[in-house]
């Protein structure tokens, strides 16, 4: 619950801060740093999972958090802040309707993400790096196939809301850099998802294969998947 509350509160603070400044600064910077960091982390992590698992097995969860938050996310944020005078000015004259659509997308995405109540282990990719028998038990990392809530309608609800948030913020702030970042995020997902799904098939076997057959990747079903469809 804590990550979801902090997530929603961060957006409120950014919007209030930008209202006081009279221009979009904090919100586009926060979104760019968060998702820019995620892109970097995913590209550094998923293609070489075996390396990270071996390296972290001897060092534990705290070592990964230091690498991820301190080096990868932190380094990306510092770089984006250093370059912000240039890319924050890369904007177009957005129409009121476009900005309203962007605002609705962003608010809906933030709310959906928060309702999901994702924990620190999910947020910080620990589940992929510490599988059963390779650090999950020692580091108290949850390992189960989630079939509740939004996952009854779509397989990747958070990835979908992530993209909606990026695109929505881009439209709301009329920022071309965030449009580019949204496209990069989509391209990174195209590379990551096959690796992630292969890992899940190996880990959960037939239940996950049945789940993939019954539930779409991104376009939600009209009704929730039933247990009978997964047997």
For residue 136, the enclosing domain spans: 2-230
Q: Do residues 11 and 26 make contact, with C-beta atoms less than 8 angstroms apart? A: no
Res. 88: pLDDT tops 60: yes
Closest CA to 45 of 55, 59, 31: 55
Q: Do residues 192 and 61 make contact, with C-beta atoms less than 8 angstroms apart? A: no
Contacts of 204 (CB under 8 A, 6+ apart): 145
164-178 mean pLDDT? 96
Residue found by looking up tokens 């391209």 in the block? 187
- pLDDT, residue 159, reads 85
CA distance 24 to 89: 10
Helices and strands (H, E) in the chain, number of each type:
11, 0
Res. 185: pLDDT tops 90: yes
Res. 202: pLDDT tops 70: yes
Token pair recorded at residue 223: 């009704």
- Average pLDDT of every residue of the chain: 83
Q: Is the pTM of this model over 0.75?
A: yes
Length of the chain counted residue by residue:
231
- pLDDT, residue 19, reads 96
Identify which has the larger pLDDT, 62 or 217: 217
CA distance 32 to 134: 33
In which band, very low, low, confident or very high, does the pLDDT at 87 lie, cut at 50, 70 and 90?
A: very high
Q: What is the CATH number of the domain that holds 10?
A: 1.20.120.1630
How many structural domains compose the chain? 1
16-36 mean pLDDT? 95
CA quadruple 127, 129, 130, 134: dihedral sign? positive
Q: Tell me the percentage of the chain whose pLDDT exceeds 70.
A: 83
Identify which has the larger pLDDT, 226 or 104: 104
Closest CA to 32 of 108, 84, 68, 69: 84
Identify which has the larger pLDDT, 221 or 89: 89
In which band, very low, low, confident or very high, does the pLDDT at 187 lie, cut at 50, 70 and 90?
A: very high
């Amino acid at each position: 619950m804590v990550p979801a509350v902090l997530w929603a509160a961060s957006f409120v603070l950014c919007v209030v801060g930008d209202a006081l400044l009279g221009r979009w600064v904090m919100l586009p910077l926060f979104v760019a740093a968060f998702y820019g960091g995620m892109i970097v982390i995913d590209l550094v992590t998923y293609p070489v999972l075996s390396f990270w698992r071996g390296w972290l097995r001897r060092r534990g969860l705290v070592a990964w958090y230091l690498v991820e938050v301190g080096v990868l996310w932190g380094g990306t944020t510092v770089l984006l802040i250093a370059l912000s005078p240039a890319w924050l000015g890369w904007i177009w004259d957005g129409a009121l309707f476009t900005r309203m659509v962007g605002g609705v997308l962003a608010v809906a995405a933030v709310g959906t993400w928060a309702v999901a109540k994702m924990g620190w282990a999910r947020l910080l990719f620990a589940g992929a790096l510490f599988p059963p028998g390779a650090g999950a038990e020692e580091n108290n990392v949850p390992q189960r196939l989630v079939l509740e809530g939004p996952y009854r309608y779509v397989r990747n609800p958070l990835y979908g809301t992530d993209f909606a948030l990026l695109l929505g913020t881009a439209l709301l702030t009329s920022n071309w850099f965030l449009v580019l970042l949204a496209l990069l995020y989509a391209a990174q997902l195209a590379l990551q998802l096959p690796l992630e799904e292969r890992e899940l098939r190996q880990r959960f076997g037939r239940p996950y294969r049945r789940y993939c057959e019954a539930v779409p990747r991104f376009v939600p079903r009209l009704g929730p998947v039933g247990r009978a469809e997964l047997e």
